[in-house]
Amino acid sequence: MRESCGIFGVYAHGAEVARLAFFGIYALQHRGQESSGIATADGKRIRLHADMGLVAQVFNEATLDRLIGYIAIGHNRYSTTGSSRIFNAQPILVSDSSAVRNLALAHNGNIVNASYLRRELEEKGYSFTSSSDSEVIARLIISSPGKDLIEKLKYATSRIQGAYSLVIMTNDQLVGVRDPFGVRPLSLGSVDGGWVLASETCALDHLGAEVIREIEPGEAVLIDETGVNSLRIGKADRGGLCIFEFIYFARHDSVIGGQRLYPKRQAMGIQLAREHPVEADLVIGVPDSATAAGIGYSFASGITYSEGLLKNRYVGRTFIEPEQRLRDLGVKLKFNPMPEVLSGKRLVVVDDSIVRGTTTPQVINLLRKSGASEVHLRICAPPIRYPCFFGVDMATRRELIAAQKTVPEIAEAIGADTLGYLSIDGLIQSVGLPREKFCLACFTGDYPVPVQLEMDKLEMETVLDTG
């Protein structure tokens, strides 16, 4: 399962906003590794630099020096709608002859009615340079009726269905927006006499910013020379915060919903030990997302915890394709087991999730080849039976192993001696927030908004592929 995108914004007169944005999206690199970009504004014009690759690959001193101004927005992308191509890199910059002449936008989420909105805009004469739903949002906002950005934004968001946390910049304004369901996180902070917006609080911490609060679902904050102004753009009858922000996506040290994630992930492991106890010699967590849960399982069960797998954190985050012999090694490129720790041991292996069930058997086989006598797999999430349409590139329902097999059948297919999933009730108890605050659709099929059950992330690819 792939992360969603990371977004960042800063409004600070007299500060080097491009550098603040650089370190902001650098701290959010875990949310997307396909492309990175920063746009800045100085009150008169918008400048943009974006390219394929990691933040440190895309930017250097020369590129940052050219990004002048007192407002900046930044983006790290993992594609959910639209391919991983340079024309889909963000921020998106659009221009129009309307009251808002220039607009740059960075988006975290996924719009379920993007194709319909795009066709409508094309019929009105608007042309597109990318295949992403983010450009649809940007062009819809700038073409909407209204005398200023807020009026346009209110109209546009009334048309959009799906998940979106946005940072938007004009020549002289910065806006942060969160959809009415609050699917993706967004926080407000202060730094250097100015204001900062970020997907996660860890990005604010790295800048020495003071965390003020989270942007509420259905709220927009307009930041300009008058300060921060809050506006209500929509209201939903239910919450929709993605539960996987707590399980996997967000960094351990971030705070979401007033909850620091590390102890919540430990609590998931504690609850797993209560729901699925087993006799074993050692507990290991699959790094890095399940480490805290593994420690929690060890604490609750009294079984010793150890690092049995070491992770190469940079594999899979490069655009250099491995040669065939290395590709055939599979997860061995990503994880290196320690036979001295594992040999002859009955293992409890804690992981965050099973999606397709293609990688997990390789991990289990790696542990067995390193001498593990038993492998008991424990999963921090309930069985994933339904795809996500709100910013997570997960799988189709046909590809989800839990949609096709029972738990014993999955255990047999992946080669585990036993398999235990955390229950939905146990997950909610571990998180410590009301169930109605979350989107649990990937477990239950109950989506916050109606969706087309077999959407294609590349459905808006056009002649851009061949042109």
- The 3-class secondary structure across the chain, one letter per residue, is CCCCCEEEEEECCCCCHHHHHHHHHHHCHHHCCCEEEEEEECCCCEEEEEEECCHHHHCCHHHHHHCCCCEEEEEEECCCCCCCCHHHCCCEEEECCCCCCEEEEEEEEEECCHHHHHHHHHHCCCCCCCCCHHHHHHHHHHHCCCCCHHHHHHHHHHHCCEEEEEEEECCCCEEEEECCCCCCCCEEEEECCEEEEECCHHHHHHCCCEEEEECCCCEEEEEECCEEEEEECCCCCCCCEECHHHHHHCCCCCEECCEEHHHHHHHHHHHHHHHCCCCCCEEEECCCCCHHHHHHHHHHHCCCECCCEEECCCCCCCCCCCCHHHHCCHHHHCEEECHHHHCCCEEEEEECCCCCCCCHHHHHHHHHHCCCCEEEEEECCCCCCCCCCCCCCCCCHHHCHHHHCCHHHHHHHHCCCEEEECCHHHHHHHHCCCHHHEECHHHHCCCCCCCCCCCCCCCCCCHHHCC
What pLDDT does 317 receive? 54
Residue extent(s) of CATH 3.40.50.2020 domains in the chain = 260-434
Residue extent(s) of CATH 3.60.20.10 domains in the chain = 6-240
Separation CA 22–CA 66 (nearest Å) = 13
What pLDDT does 390 receive? 81
Closest CA to 268 of 106, 145, 380: 380
Average pLDDT over residues 39-57: 96
Q: Is 388 a catalytic residue?
A: no
Is-contact 55 38, C-beta < 8 A? Answer: no
Residue 450 has pLDDT above 90, yes or no: no
Q: Sorting pLDDT into bands at 50, 70 and 90, what band is 96?
A: confident
Q: Sorting pLDDT into bands at 50, 70 and 90, what band is 59?
A: very high
What pLDDT does 457 receive? 43
Residue with tokens 């096709």: 404
Contacts for 393 with CB less than 8 Å, ≥ 6 apart = 1, 2, 78, 79, 80, 457
Percentage, residues of the chain above pLDDT 90? 80
Dump pLDDT digits (tens) for 316-363: 555 555 566 666 677 888 899 999 999 999 999 999 999 999 999 999
Q: Sorting pLDDT into bands at 50, 70 and 90, what band is 391?
A: low
Q: Sorting pLDDT into bands at 50, 70 and 90, what band is 99?
A: confident
Domain 260-434: assigned CATH number: 3.40.50.2020
**Which of 81-90, 286-295, 331-340 shows the lowest per-residue confidence on average (mean pLDDT)?**
81-90
259: tokens are: 């909850």
Dump pLDDT digits (tens) for 165-189: 999 999 999 999 999 999 999 999 9
Average pLDDT over residues 11-30: 97
185: tokens are: 């996180």
Contacts for 236 with CB less than 8 Å, ≥ 6 apart = 180, 181, 182, 217, 218, 448
Residue 394 has pLDDT above 60, yes or no: yes
Dump pLDDT digits (tens) for 106-138: 999 999 999 999 999 999 999 999 988 999 999
pTM, whole model, 2 decimals? 0.90
Is-contact 91 73, C-beta < 8 A? Answer: yes
Fold for 6-240, please state it.
Answer: Glutamine Phosphoribosylpyrophosphate, subunit 1, domain 1 (3.60.20)
What pLDDT does 321 receive? 56
| Phi, psi torsion values for 174, nearest 5 degrees | -125, 135
Dump pLDDT digits (tens) for 202-222: 999 999 999 999 999 999 999
Contacts for 159 with CB less than 8 Å, ≥ 6 apart = 113, 117, 140
Q: Sorting pLDDT into bands at 50, 70 and 90, what band is 460?
A: very low
Q: Sorting pLDDT into bands at 50, 70 and 90, what band is 454?
A: very low
| Phi, psi torsion values for 225, nearest 5 degrees | -65, -15
Which residue is catalytic, options 5, 242, 380, 442? 5
Q: Which range has highest mean pLDDT (86-90, 146-150, 281-285)?
A: 281-285
What pLDDT does 97 receive? 74
Mean pLDDT of the chain: 91
Greater pLDDT, 2 or 229: 229
404: tokens are: 């096709």
The greatest distance separating any two alpha carbons of the chain, rounded to the nearest whole angstrom, comes to: 71
Is-contact 175 149, C-beta < 8 A? Answer: yes
236: tokens are: 């939903």
**Which of 108-112, 268-272, 299-303, 462-466 shows the lowest per-residue confidence on average (mean pLDDT)?**
462-466
